[in-house]
Amino acid sequence: MHAKPEVVKEVLIVATGTGEAPVACRRLRASAARWSADGTTLFTSSSSNRINTFVLPSTLLAPHGDSPLTLTPQGTLYLPEPTAAIAPCPYFALEQPSTQCILTASTDHPIHLHHAFPQPPPPSSSQSSSLDDDDDSTFGLPQHKQQQPKPLATFRLIHAETERYLPITSLLWSFPGTHFLAGSTNCLSLFDVSRPDLGLSDTPLLTIKTTGGPSAQHKSGNGARVVGMKGTISALAMQPLSHGDYGTGANVVSAGTWTRNLGLYDLHRAGACVATWNVAQAASLAKIGGRGVLQTVWSPCGRYLVVNERESSGLLVYDLRGTHRLLACLRGRDGETNQRLSCDIFPGTNEEVGGFEVWAGTRDGKVVVWEGVGMREGSVEPNYDFEVGAQGSAQ
């Protein structure tokens, strides 16, 4: 068992062209980073209650010597409290300002829809570029004097008895972007965001109780009646649609909890529960650890689900065709930390191997890659790894 490292709060955003040398970087205190749908913009949620928006320069991959470009935020949102989740617009396009929106969920506040560029770009000087992300003098004004525009829309999730705001722990805003899903304790809430300018209802269109109630019940493989799952919804992901599924409502949502439960829900059937199970036994048999589901990611074909846990040295791959059986365990990731070490999935590039690729960050600043996922069973070791150019965790 490795000694638990100190939590690294300072992260270096590094963009690489070939994997050999960084071409752009930005040192900041961040808890998460998300790409825009068009791949032109990067959103980071900051430990200082900020959402920074970085537009990557068109010369990003051009040669510029030994020193990488320094990224400067083109927009900054100042939030009243820390945010547990952000969700950029799924049809974000840099050339269309009306699409440049982002959802934020702050503690003890409603869910807000903000414009990603609430302020004019900062002056392009060496002084502004070198400002630390936690410096309250960003853009020349102290934080409390920043003129923050009002949100474009507000969505409320309130406890009926106490009238307090429920804590939102995950957000899912997927294509086509007319609705979004918010996860909280034992509950999923569906909101309409199709036309916020028309004063839509700020309450959920659909509430799915993940434990108890008819929508949470389903039959297991042996025909027994199973009642939902308990826990705080920490991860949400939408099953991708194949070419023949558009308009058929064939996609489902995967939900993971800090109590290591997984659930599949069909939003086109009023949130009916398709299946629930716990990953603790599988992770224990694989001896990879784990302390709660951090992320669920669907394969490009929508047949497999990759489960990423915190404090885990591996990833679990489930085959969801008919049954939710464990297909493989992706080993070899240095991930025994409470930090958010995320993973991502890409279509396979090796035609001889087939399957898809899984890339995962580690606590020592590397990215490990598994090829041919979905084509192999049992314990699977990484095909290769590479460093991203900075000490600290690769998130």
Supply the pLDDT for residue 127. Answer: 40
- Give the residue extent of every domain in the chain: 9-82+102-150, 152-278, 288-395
Q: Describe the strand order of the beta sheet including 325-330 as a list of residue ranges.
A: 293-298, 304-309, 315-319, 325-330, 378-380
Token pair listed for 289 = 């650890």
Question: Does the domain made of 152-278 have the CATH classification 3.40.50?
Answer: no
Supply the pLDDT for residue 31. Answer: 72
Place of tokens 């300002």: 97
Nearest-CA neighbor of 171 among 113, 246, 120, 132? 113
Q: Average pLDDT, stretch 343-352? A: 88
Q: What is the pLDDT of residues 201-241, one digit of tens each?
A: 788 999 999 986 554 455 554 444 556 799 999 999 999 87
DSSP 236-289: EEEPPPPTTTTTTT---EEEEETTSEEEEEEGGGTTEEEEEEESHHHHHHHT-B
Give the pLDDT band (50/70/90) at residue 29. low
Q: What is the pLDDT of residues 177-201, one digit of tens each?
A: 999 999 999 999 999 998 766 666 7
User: Is the model's pLDDT at 13 over the cut of 80?
Assistant: no
Indicate whether this model's pTM tops 0.75. Answer: yes
Question: Does the domain made of 288-395 have the CATH classification 2.40.160.40?
Answer: no
